[in-house]
Structure 1
């Protein structure tokens, strides 16, 4: 019975293309909600007994320790919805009362991820930039579709090229790519896997995240040796990604030589009730101006506002929505 109930919940999440499912304890038992972009949607509330049943069922599916309800645990399992198989990453942790909360990340196959691009020409511009070797960086909030964008760009320009991905964890299964997964306990770090990957002589690298100095250095060296590197960094805007790499020890001269473009993206609600990706691209002369110190700091903000205004003009998003993303 609990499997049937969970299947109903999962089916709703998958049909809505939710990124995460939350099972959170409350005073009466628990609340269940899912997330799309930065919006949370309540599904239902359940008793404390039902909370324990759901948690135990999910932990069993993920091969987690059922008796452990305080320390954090992580696991994974697959769930079939119709003809589609969804990879699920699960995280659990107990509060001071021993009540567990569970969060499940849904990982969809790239081919089953329809992406609505608010200004389609932006993706085509990105694809054009991917024709040359070098480093292209992607930033944006969690759940904004950065990994999906990188995969779809690689698919678009593949043409018999060898593509190797390094992720923690692998988020999108693609049988056309060589996919490596970080395992710090086995010393399979981003930097170490990059060294291994170079021996496979791929044309394109997808690096899940540049998060430390070793990975940043390895990514820059790979980009300067004739590879196309697609990766993400944590930054609040396109221009901020350059500062982030400098904070990780990359010299400005190496960045100027290797960095092809920077893309910042947000997932924004449309007038049709769906979500779409809007990009802020930094390349060519705009990128050169930053390195030369001639860039006006107001220009990136003005460029983003212009993109939002174009979406409003074309009735893609409302003025109210645009104001929330200024």
Structure 2
């Protein structure tokens, strides 16, 4: 099979399974091509190193990456069409200590295809209510927990005639009626720089892709303090951990108290139907500030209820009992 045909078959299979990622991973003197879908990470094919090298180079060429560079980290992006639908692919490659290259391809789906389904609606309604207060609403959870998708769906429901600006690295979900800015480090446009520019445009709603450093944290807080409704994400192991993370990034507690309205924590839980549904807990800042550690009991009660309703297995409830 020709390389382009094999790549097309791989992409087609991954999209059919609603996979989030495709991996090219060294495996002895061969490569394993793996697909991560809602439930598992499975091996799609095992190919020779030569074949894998050609497939990786083809993908890199299509994503405008340097084919000759197989040691240093690279990122790229490309569009892919299947039938009448368009998908965005984000590629990342890096070589190991011996110069053997691996690659990961993230598949970005259209928002209409990936509307997050929730195990329960109560906390989703709570987010809608706290959004009326403006300020900074932070979604936390690990990578691939549906945080950005949930934010976009929420904003789509409340935006009405409001001006929405997003600042992301990269833009994951394309929305024609949003003003979407993308971080470009080489051009000197980081999160904090784009937030400054964004404030001059006076949007009603900000979506800041991720708070990952001191400058971005302080810029997001500044945007919230200026009266905007700001949604952002951060990596933390619990809702309480979000506060600790902001403090680590140099945001003074007094500014956290003034700027942050609510903190949400979300995971995508495998359900018996073979899909994944979001479990979301939303907390007002005052609820978390009053505690020395996070109490997972409400979260665990939601999982137990899902077991009783036969939405998830007992094993799944145990696996996700602490987020």
TM-score (norm: length of structure 1): 0.93
| RMSD, matched Cα | 1.6
Please identify, of 232-241 and 60-69, the stretch whose mean Cα deviation from structure 2 is larger.
60-69
2: CA distance, partners of 1:244 / 1:38? 30
Residue 28 of structure 1: how far off its partner (Å): 4.3
- Name the SS of the counterpart of 1:165 in structure 2: strand
Structure 1 gaps of 5+ residues are none
CA displacement at 1:97 relative to structure 2: 4.2
Mapped contact 1:25–1:51 kept (Cα < 8 A): no
Question: CA–CA distance in 2 between the matches of 1:237 and 1:38?
Answer: 23
CA distance in 2, matches of 1:139, 1:37: 19
Asked if residue 209 in structure 1 is aligned to residue 210 in structure 2, the reply is yes
- Rounded to whole Å, the distance in 2 between the matches of 1:180 and 1:172 is 12
Q: Which residue of 1 aligns with 2:146?
A: 145
**TM-score normalised by length of structure 2:** 0.94
The offset of 1:314, in angstroms, is 1.7
1:192 aligns with 2:190: no
Deviation at residue 125 of structure 1 after TM alignment: 2.2
Partner of 1:297: 293
1:60-116 Cα distance to aligned partner (Å, 9 max, x none): 111222222223222111111111111111112223444321111111121221322
Give the equivalent residue in structure 2 for 1:177: 178
Report if the CA contact (8 A) 2:39-2:270 is conserved: no
Cα distance in 1 for residues equivalent to 2:141 and 2:50: 39
**CA 1:272–1:249 in structure 2 vs 1: closer, same or farther (change >3 Å)?**
same
The answer for the alignment partner of 1:4 in structure 2 is 5
Q: 1:88-237 to 2 correspondence within 5 Å?
A: 88-237=89-238
Report the 3-state secondary structure (helix = DSSP H, G, I; strand = E; otherwise coil) of the residue aligned with 2:112. helix
Q: Sort the Cα spacing of 1:45 and 1:84 in 2 relative to 1 into closer, same or farther, 3 A.
A: same
Q: Is contact 2:115-2:153 (8 Å) kept?
A: no
- Equivalent in 262, 287, 309 of residue 314 of structure 1: 309
Mapped partners of 1:201, 1:246: distance in 2: 27
CA positional deviation for 1:280? 1.9
Q: How does 1:37-56 map to 2 (within 5 A)?
A: 39-56=40-57
> Conserved in 1, the CA contact under 8 Å of 2:39 and 2:275?
no
SS for the counterpart of 2:170 is coil
